[in-house]
Amino acid sequence: MSTPDQAGGLAPTRHDRYEKAIDLFGRALDRLARAYEADPDKRRDLVQDIHFAIWRSFETYEGRCALRTWVYRVAHNTATSHITRAIRLGRQQFLTLDELAAEPASRERPVDEILGRRRALDRLYELIQRLDPVDRQVIVSYLDGIEAAEIAEIVGASPAAVGMKVYRIKRLLARQFNEGGPHGR
Amino acid sequence: MAADPWTEDARGLWQSQESVVTRMSAEDMRERADRWNRAFDRTTWIAFVCAGGFLAFFVFMLTVHHTALQRLGAIVGIFAAAYLASIGLRIADRRWVVSGATCVRAYKAQLERRRQADLGSARTILLSMTGCALLTSPGDWVPWALQAASQLAAGLLAYAYLSRQARRFKTRIDELTEMEAAQP
């Protein structure tokens, strides 16, 4: 079944790019969606929105930035729209890194490593899901292994500003996660 | 960005979690496109419906009232309807959707869209309540003044509440602009 885009000969390129992006970053996009939406049904919907936004964005992608930078930008922007709609409906309130840092750290100690890892991950998601969009974009990118310079390119802030945010994030996470490590060493 | 054992562990924990890779067909994409368009249109129809309602009401008031003050009230109301329609048109513009822009720029655009919507609503409410206050027939000045004052007060309260929200958006937009301006 042909699509209007196929008739114009554009679809293979766009769809190829989409397939490549999903091969490379599909798992990261799933993690990113979870960082923005806790409800599993709404998250499935958000993942599909992100995929659609990425697919559509390749119509205007000119290769001026790396594929990863582009995909993360589109994904974060779509997810940010999703959560700002939730804010408008009064479902959530965002916090800044400083406000979160002022909250008391958990003293909970997990009983074994597997349970500890699962709990640490759940708490990490809880913490991220309360953050302001820009802080959330930085922390998710950081946890995905992206370095400050590329995070700055994704977010659109200076590497120094991003570096400062990453420093605060590290301090916050270390304080929140029992100081000994994410699975309570 | 110096790495330390804990944060490397956190990154490892994050990256090693089980995740599902979704893939969407061209058919899925078309369905999603229709859904997006409907969702986007839904965000603006309320402004046009309200503008239509205001326009019908104040045009009717213009035809049935004959004193200069009442006619002025109807004209203020018609202006409120036109202003609301113009805000609706501005909000409905697709330029707010900037998927490939940097996150800060895209977020700023979203906040600016909401700021304009809030500010537009605040001004429309104030204008229409002013129009309503002037529409009331000034047969007896004391009751008229009381009624007009309560209508204006309601408009001012709504204006103060909505414009306060708009100011909060503006503050965040300014912070984001500052963060963006620091980029070399």
Residue type, B83: Y
pLDDT at B53 over 70: yes
**pTM exceeding the 0.95 threshold for the entire prediction:** no
**Residue with more model confidence, B18 or B83:** B83
Q: How high is the pLDDT of residue B181?
A: 65
If one compares B44 and A108, the residue with the highest pLDDT of the two is B44
Report d(CA B123, CA B118) in Å as an integer.
9
Q: What pLDDT, on the 0 to 100 scale, is given for residue B36?
A: 82
pLDDT averaged over every residue in chain A: 79
The pLDDT-based confidence of A115 (bands split at 50, 70, 90) is low
- Among the listed residues B90, B23, B181, B84, the one whose alpha carbon sits nearest the alpha carbon of residue A25: B23
pLDDT of residue B58: 94
What pLDDT was estimated at residue A5?
Answer: 45
What distances in angstroms separate CA B38 from CA A56, B25, B91, one per listed residue? Answer: 16, 20, 15
Do A154 and B36 make contact, defined as CB atoms within 8 angstroms? no
CB B58: neighbour CB atoms within 10 A? 23
What confidence score (pLDDT) does residue A88 get? 61
Query: For residue B101, which phi and psi values (nearest 5 degrees)?
Result: -75, 165
pLDDT in tens, B28-50: 888 888 888 887 777 778 889 99
Which pLDDT belongs to residue B2? 45
Using the beta-carbon criterion (under 8 Å), do B20 and A30 form an inter-chain contact?
A: yes
Average of per-residue pLDDT across B3-25:
74
Q: How many residues make up chain B in this entry?
A: 184
Q: Please provide the DSSP assignment of B104-152 as one string.
A: HHHHHHHHHHHHHHHHHHHHHHHHHHHHHHHHS--SSHHHHHHHHHHHH
Nearest to A117 among B13, B99, B101 (CB): B13
Lowest mean pLDDT among A68-77, A80-89, A102-111, B88-97: A102-111
With beta carbons under 8 A apart, name residues in chain A contacting B184.
Answer: 158
**Residue among B91, B96, B92, B94 at smallest CA distance from B120:** B91
Position A104 scores a pLDDT of: 66
Binary contact (B180, A133; C-beta < 8 A): no
CB contact under 8 A, B179 and A134: yes
Average model confidence (pLDDT) for chain B? 85
Is the pLDDT score of A20 beyond 80?
Answer: yes
Task: Return the residue matching tokens 């930085």.
Answer: A138
pLDDT above 70 for A106: no
Q: Does B19 touch chain A (CB under 8 A)?
A: yes
CB B12 within 8 A of CB B45: no
Nearest 5°: the CA angle A155, A72, A60 is 95
Say whether the ipTM exceeds 0.85. no
Q: Which residue has the higher pLDDT, B182 or B81?
A: B81
Q: What pLDDT, in 10s, does the model give residues B141-171?
A: 788 888 889 989 999 999 999 898 889 889 9
pLDDT tens by residue, A48-100: 999 999 998 888 888 788 899 999 999 999 999 888 876 665 555 677 777 77
Angle between helices A113-128 and A133-143 (to 10 degrees): 150
Q: What is the pLDDT of residue A107?
A: 56
Cβ–Cβ contact A80 with B under 8 A: yes
Domains and CATH numbers, chain A: 4-88 (1.10.1740.10), 97-176 (1.10.10)
What pLDDT sits at residue A167? 87
Q: Do residue A144 and residue B17 have CB atoms under 8 angstroms apart?
A: no
CA distance B183 to B170: 20
End-to-end CA distance of chain B: 19
At residue A120, the pLDDT reads 79
- For residue A63, the chain B residue with the least C-alpha distance is B100
Chain segment A33-54, per-residue pLDDT in tens:
999 998 889 999 999 999 999 9
Q: Is A179 exposed, middle or buried (0-12, 13-18, 19+ CB in 10 A)?
A: exposed
Percentage of chain A with pLDDT > 90? 25
Determine contact: B139 vs chain A, CB below 8 A.
Answer: no
The predicted pLDDT at position B19 comes to 77
List pLDDT tens digits, range A126-184.
Answer: 888 888 888 899 999 999 989 888 999 999 988 888 888 888 888 887 776 655 444 44
pLDDT of residue A158: 85
Residue whose token pair is 């060493």: A185
